[in-house]
Amino acid sequence: MIRTLGVIFRRDLAILLRGAMGRGGAVLPLLFFLAVAMLYPFAVGPDARLLARTGAGVIWVAALLAAILPLDRLVEPDVEAGFFDQWALRGISEEALVLVRIAAHWLSFGVPLLLAAPLSAGLLSLDAGQLATVELGLLLGTPGLAAIGVTIAALTAGLRAGSALGGLLAIPLTVPLLIFGAGSLQPGGEGGLGLLAACSLAALAIAPFAGGGAIRAGRESG
Amino acid sequence: MTVTTLSAQGLACRRGDRILFRGLDFALQAGEALHLAGPNGVGKSSLIRILAGLREAYAGTVERQGALALLDERPALDGHLPLGQALDFWRRIDRAQPQHAAPPPTTTGGRADPFGLDDLLDVPVRYLSTGQRKRAGLARLAASGAAIWLLDEPLNGLDAHWALAAQAAIAAHLAAGGLALIASHQPLTLDHLRTLALAEYAA
């Protein structure tokens, strides 16, 4: 079973990283994330103090929106092409498949954001201490974003307005991560990181069951 | 040799608030094939999905011994990959599955390339025609080594030559101790073939 999941994980990761069959790959959310940091100083002006005070929050908003971008292509194409049915025939549980996909999604979207965050921090005049907190926050928060993303993608797979609905669903569900992540950057807000990690863990724990159940339910109604 | 059977007792299927069929019984042993016939909308595909465990039966039970393989209108092959790599993905998965360990060569009827795919292995799946895609699906099915084949319209999109080749592959699978359930609106010429007219069980 582990070997089977390894084969599936490698396929998921290759597709999510490179992008294929209408999937944008890892580049698009990354460019989006950087573009926000690049555009924000143009919008509010080059005042370094203002940028430094608000920039970390902007990074978090950008990360959250970048997480929404690939949602509609995360699960839907494989349901459509019959992959999940073929896996079910072979006795591979949907829960395991969702967990594998969360891991692949995190590697293709969370890790690039972590790598791009120093660049964003430079554009937004954050100092080294703030950058460290942002990086730690993203490290704790992006697994939760990936888990919520895959769950929503599984829930909306096969729905006609799935992509629009997915974005709408993602916003309220990811708000706690945004509040604790951005809040950890306020003076005396270090406790936010602990709460951020807790939210992330809760999302990771629930996602395989919610996502797996959603894929099975979608099959019954088809 | 392990026993291979597939049977259903009192099977009923509901779609929406309509009962498609009820009281369906059959039993298949190794080497036997069942041709599921009937007009569109009678529930052939739904029955196949129930037997595959992808859909709940409204009533009745399904019993099976042996691994399952399913071919429907979706080949489950990655469109951006060359056909060879796309098939290889399933080969690697099936090799890792213990219940699929039955050796596949017998099911190809002794021919190395029963579905004429050798020249297409470098072609990305999305460029294949409907018939070529169907043949690729059949190759995936045959390579799985599963004893029970569930085929939903396996001859759709195949020309006369490849329709015969597909039936030859099914016959070879039966001869090797497999069993097959085939939903098709086209006539089939197979030994040990029984026909089940699903319309007779319509509620």
Q: Which of B52, B75, B79 shows the shortest C-beta gap to A89?
A: B52
pLDDT tens-digit series, residues A12-21: 999 998 876 6
* Interchain CB contact of A220 with B (< 8 Å): yes
pLDDT at residue B72 tops 80: yes
Q: Which chain A residues contact residue B126 at CB under 8 A? A: 21
Residues 6+ apart with CB under 8 A from B186: B155, B163
What does pLDDT average to over chain B?
Answer: 88
The mean per-residue pLDDT over the stretch B172-198 comes to: 89
Contact B120, B85 (CB under 8 A): no
pLDDT tens-digit series, residues A79-123: 999 999 999 999 999 999 999 999 999 999 999 999 999 999 999
User: What is the distance between the alpha carbons of residues B129 and A219, in angstroms, rounded to a whole number?
Assistant: 27
Choose between B143 and B192: higher pLDDT.
Answer: B143
Banded model confidence at residue B1, pLDDT cuts 50, 70, 90: low
What are the backbone dihedrals phi and psi of residue B191, each rounded to the nearest 5 degrees, phi first? -75, 160
The mean per-residue pLDDT over the stretch A168-174 comes to: 91
Residues 6+ apart with CB under 8 A from A1: A92, A96, B96
For residue B142, the distance in angstroms to the closest alpha carbon of chain A comes to 14
A138-142, B95-99, B135-139, B199-203: the lowest-pLDDT one? B95-99
Give the number of A-B residue pairs with CB atoms closer than 8 Å. Answer: 59
Domains of chain B, earliest start first: 5-201 (3.40.50.300)
For A11, nearest residue in chain B (alpha carbons): B89
Q: Which chain A residues contact residue B93 at CB under 8 A? A: 4, 7-8, 90
User: What is the distance between the alpha carbons of residues B3 and A169, in angstroms, rounded to a whole number?
Assistant: 49
pLDDT at residue A62 tops 70: yes
A 10 A CB-CB count for B200 gives 12
pLDDT at residue A26 tops 90: no
- What percent of chain A has a predicted confidence (pLDDT) above 90? 68
Interchain contact, A89 vs B78, CB within 8 Å:
no
For residue B151, the distance in angstroms to the closest alpha carbon of chain A comes to 13
Instruction: Return the pLDDT at A214.
Output: 95
Q: Which of residues 109-168 of A touch B (CB under 8 A)?
A: none
pLDDT tens-digit series, residues A154-165: 999 988 777 788
Instruction: Return the pLDDT at A143.
Output: 96
User: What is the distance between the alpha carbons of residues B70 and B150, in angstroms, rounded to a whole number?
Assistant: 5
Instruction: Return the pLDDT at B192.
Output: 80
Q: Which of residues 3-22 of A touch B (CB under 8 A)?
A: 3-4, 7-8, 11, 15, 20-21
pLDDT tens-digit series, residues A135-153: 999 999 999 999 999 999 9
Specify the residue for token string 């891991």.
A103
Task: Locate the domains of chain A by residue range.
Answer: 2-221
pLDDT tens-digit series, residues B148-173: 999 999 999 899 999 999 999 999 99
Q: Which of residues 47-86 of A touch B (CB under 8 A)?
A: 80-83, 85-86
Report ipTM (2 d.p.).
0.90
User: What is the distance between the alpha carbons of residues A213 and A150, in angstroms, rounded to a whole number?
Assistant: 12
Instruction: Return the pLDDT at B109.
Output: 47
pLDDT at residue B195 tops 60: yes
Interchain contact, B76 vs A4, CB within 8 Å:
no
Residues 6+ apart with CB under 8 A from B92: A7
Q: Which of A1, A81, A220 shows the shortest C-beta gap to B55?
A: A220
CA-closest candidate to residue A98, choices A2, A5, A3: A5
Interchain contact, B79 vs A220, CB within 8 Å:
no
A 10 A CB-CB count for A48 gives 11
Dmax (CA) for chain B in angstroms is 48
Specify the residue for token string 């306020």.
A186
A30-39, A170-179, B187-196: the lowest-pLDDT one? B187-196
Interchain contact, B53 vs A89, CB within 8 Å:
yes
Banded model confidence at residue A198, pLDDT cuts 50, 70, 90: very high
pLDDT tens-digit series, residues B103-128: 444 444 445 688 989 999 999 999 99
User: What is the distance between the alpha carbons of residues A189 and A70, in angstroms, rounded to a whole number?
Assistant: 31
For B124, nearest residue in chain A (alpha carbons): A21
Residues 6+ apart with CB under 8 A from A17: A25, A26, A107, A108
Planar angle of CA A20, A119, A149, nearest 5 degrees:
40
Banded model confidence at residue A131, pLDDT cuts 50, 70, 90: very high
pLDDT tens-digit series, residues B5-50: 999 999 999 988 889 999 999 999 999 999 999 888 888 999 999 9
Q: Which chain A residues contact residue B75 at CB under 8 A? A: 81-82
Instruction: Return the pLDDT at B90.
Output: 94
Instruction: Return the pLDDT at A137.
Output: 95
